[in-house]
Amino acid sequence: MQGKPGKVALMVAWSVEAGFYVAAIAISLLAGALVMAAAGVTPWEAYELMWQGAAGGANSLKETLVKATPLLFAGLSYSFAYRCGLFNIGAEGQIYVGALTGTMAALLLPPMPFWVHLPLALLCSFLGGALWAGIAGALKIGRGASEIINTIMLNYIAIFLISYMVTGPLMDAAGSLPQTAKLPASAILPQLGGSRLHVGFFVAIGTAIVLYWLLERTTWGFQLRSAGLNRRAAEGMGMPVKRNLLLAMMVSGALAGLGGYVEIAGVQHRLMQNFSPGFGYDGIAVALLGNTHPLGNIVSALLFGGMRAGANSMQRVTGASTSLVYVIQAIMIIVMLVNKYWLGGFKKRIREALIRRVERSDSSSGSTQLNWNE
């Protein structure tokens, strides 16, 4: 019953999915070209420049990875909560708080060697994000308050808290800008060969892989997925659902917090007001495009990171606003959502036709028994 026919159906399903994904991206780029033309930019030239800026050489590629790093952390943060049945819209705030606690560990602790200081600062950012998300998590499981509303509101508190800290207690004594002093070298993420690319990118990739393993392979991940898919059943089976959801919310916040400090310690090297141009919210888009799968997030974060890097070089040459890239990004999300939710029947027909063709050409394979009724 399993064996070959099942595999054929699975392969067909995968290739149809992949085909539609590629088509969705192509359609978005085409729609983006129309927008560019309307804005008075030659689309071909703009895309060419974007490609140059994103992948045209070693430096461009590195820039893409730098831009992708905070997006990946934010996307993982949203994805993890989502898979557990929670909506964490607060990655932005958690990024700020994680950046704050990490920076405080970097600046306020007595001097110590690099291999103690950097991990300690990263740990502090992890805990800061966890605690910030934990507020919304505790309100959710204790009082039933919507975590969507509370995480959004905590974003504002966090952003203003950081504004206060960098203009007050933590302000750089040597200047008048709203920012802290430069981080000590022992708390900074090493850069590769003098470029802007820092170790943080690899930390992000590692985090995605760990998260995949955690969700799919571990007992705890199994409990989290059960609670996310059917909370009532998970409770009925005797799983500690409330405790797990609080922890899941905290892990989600911790990922964003870590991303916040990685951005500070890898790129900015000091905490400043409004250092995040909305990484937290972009993370939701990254997660959606990555199908809330940890490894899917890597692909979508690289895509978005590439578009950011490309946008800068496009702006430098053509003078067209980088906002055009945001337009393309938004179109891409809409196209992806249509692909995911509206085309089920169409894809099914294609799959069935393909399976029939495979069966006809390979009469020995017998009948396929997979029942795809979505």
Given candidates 103, 223, 297, 313, which one binds another protein under the rule CB under 8 A?
223
Nearer to another protein, 149 or 209 (CB): 209
How many CA atoms lie less than 13 Å away from 190 in the CB half-sphere?
7
Q: Which stretch binds another protein (CB under 8 A): 61-69, 215-223, 278-286, 324-332?
A: 215-223
Helices 3-38 and 43-55 pack at an angle, to 10 degrees, of 120
Please, what is the minimum distance in Å from the beta carbon of residue 350 to another protein?
A: 13
> Rule CB under 8 A: which of 133-192 touch another protein?
none
One of 177, 192, 233, 338 touching another protein (CB under 8 A): 233
Going by C-beta distance under 8 Å and a sequence separation of 6 or more, which residues neighbour residue 263?
69, 70, 95, 99, 200, 275, 276, 279
| Binding pattern for the stretch 236-255 against another protein, x by CB under 8 A and - elsewhere | xxxxx---------------
Beta-carbon-side half-sphere exposure of residue 112 (alpha carbons within 13 Å)? 14
End-to-end Cα spacing for the chain: 21
Spatial distance between the Cα atoms of 329 and 324, rounded to a whole number of angstroms: 9
Confirm or reject binding of residue 235 to another protein (CB under 8 A).
yes
The CA distance from 362 to 5, in Å, is 11
How many residues contact another protein, by CB under 8 A? 34
* Region 330-359 residues binding another protein, contact defined as CB under 8 A: 352, 355-356, 359
Q: Does 48 bind another protein (CB under 8 A)?
A: no
257 to 286: interface string for another protein, x by CB under 8 A: ------------------------------
17 binds another protein (CB under 8 A): no
Q: In whole angstroms, give the CA distance from residue 275 to residue 103.
A: 13
Contacting another protein (CB under 8 A), which of 176, 219, 361, 364? 219
Cβ(265)–Cβ(118) under 8 Å? yes
Q: 67, 63, 62, 92: which is closest to 77 by C-alpha? A: 92
* Identified binder of another protein from the candidate list 230, 295, 330, 346, rule CB under 8 A: 230
Q: Report the alpha-carbon distance of residue 274 to residue 284 in Å, rounded.
A: 19
Could you tell me the smallest distance in angstroms from the CB atom of residue 239 to another protein? 8
Position among 1, 22, 38, 174 found at the interface with another protein (CB under 8 A) = 1
Cα gap 2→239, rounded to integer Å: 32
- Which one-letter amino acid corresponds to residue 175? G
Binding residues for another protein (CB under 8 A): 1-2, 6, 9, 217-220, 222-223, 225-226, 229-230, 232-240, 352, 355-356, 359, 367-373
